[in-house]
Amino acid sequence: MKLFFDENIGSTVPDALRHVGAPAQDIARPRKGGVVGLGATDIEWVRHVGANGYLGLTEDLKILQSPAVIQEARRWGAGLIFLPTGQWPRWQVLRLLLWRWEWLQTVDASVPRPFAFRWDRHGRARRIY
């Protein structure tokens, strides 16, 4: 499983996952001078997620209201997970991801792309498309 964290999640959560040795092929996020740079548009990072087989995680629920971004996600075959954690302390976001890790692995391996799921605050998933 390869994870890509939208910039709105920040660096703490992906860095903590790397630090604890989370079983993932790659844990990536936008970086200054990176393939997906800081300040990249939603369309840019969603294309990268789809083109490179990442599972994209974001707290930006506004993306769901953007037909252009959703169209690109579908076009590029992106798998997206929308988290309800925008105002949560980062340790709680990390806890939720670790608690639902097996679900993430299963979805990544078995659900045909493109797809999007939205988690509620308890980590229950609802498929959007």
| pLDDT tens readout for residues 63-96 | 999 999 999 999 999 999 999 998 999 999 999 9
Say which DSSP state 54 is in.
P
| Distance in angstroms (rounded) separating the CA atoms of residues 31 and 17 | 17
pTM of the model: 0.95
Structure token pair of residue 124? 């229950």
Instruction: Give the residues of the chain that fall short of pLDDT 70.
Output: none
Pairing assessment for the beta strands 125-127 and 79-82 based on DSSP bridges: unpaired
Contact 57, 5 (CB under 8 A): yes
